[in-house]
Amino acid sequence: MRKVRFAPSPTGSLHVGNALSAVANRAFGDWLLLRIDDTDPERNMPGGEDAIIADLAWLGVEWDEGPVRQSERAGRYAEAGRRLGDRFDGITLLREDGTATYHLASVVDDVDFGITHVLRGNDHRPNEQLHRRLAEARIRRLAIEAIAEMPDAELADAAGAPVGAVPVLRGARDLNEARELALQVLEPEAAKLPPDARPTLERFKELRERASNGLDHDAARELVRELKAVGGDLKTLRLALTGRERGPELSAVLEALTKEEALRRADAAL
């Protein structure tokens, strides 16, 4: 479904360019949102929204949802701004008084309402790349937050992994990456270790033997710190446990592996 939006400011009757945009969006889209961009009080005119609605009726343009007024979504923009930051690519997203600029409000609305296509005049072309990057950042942030909030069993099921792998999955940016991270832990690749790998792996085995069978987040991080403190090479341990030089945090890998499995992999690498 092609979801589009027509988003005029309530400055009075539509000019020819806006009218053409409204007709084009209605003709192209399967679903049309009417959004009123009224976040700039100095530009808003009394009766401006009513004039726009009357003009759209005269043009025969009907919408499927709206009118949605940006002035009524200030809390939503403030929340998004806190997560993305006050500035993005050198552009201000939140003003000093906490209100959203056009760039932030427009992109948050497009993401929230699932807009798939944006049809607008050439006067908006300079904003196109900025809004694209901002939307991608917003979507990534939402995906990360969704994964962070998913129950363990649900996340494990979505990634095709056992619940024990959840500590590794929490660092994923989306479910595709969660599946890749799960594979790194569940199906380690064979890797060639450096010639001096033995001291690191022996030290790791000693530390892991002393620790409890199941490591929680803090215990796993402490074990990594202890190994580093006694001269252990973390890159070597990662290679031994996952077969890869890069991946999820090493502490998350240790948290996901049982003591028996971690020691088995260390022995196999020696």
Which domains are present in the chain? 3-146 (3.40.50.620), 150-186 (no CATH), 197-269 (no CATH)
Does the pLDDT value for residue 256 go beyond 90?
Answer: no
Does the pLDDT value for residue 211 go beyond 80?
Answer: yes
**Section 231-243 average pLDDT:** 89
Tokens describing residue 137: 């950042």
State residue 139's pLDDT score.
44
| 3-state DSSP assignment of residue 270 | coil
State residue 10's pLDDT score.
93
State residue 200's pLDDT score.
92
Confidence of residue 202 (pLDDT cuts 50, 70, 90): very high
Alpha-carbon span 185 to 150, nearest angstrom = 20
Does the pLDDT value for residue 67 go beyond 90?
Answer: yes
Confidence of residue 143 (pLDDT cuts 50, 70, 90): very low
Which of the 8 DSSP states describes residue 196? Answer: T
Longest dimension (CA), the chain: 81
State residue 204's pLDDT score.
93
Alpha-carbon span 76 to 114, nearest angstrom = 15
Q: In the predicted model, what is the mean pLDDT of the chain? A: 79
State residue 101's pLDDT score.
78
State residue 201's pLDDT score.
93
Does the pLDDT value for residue 122 go beyond 70?
Answer: no
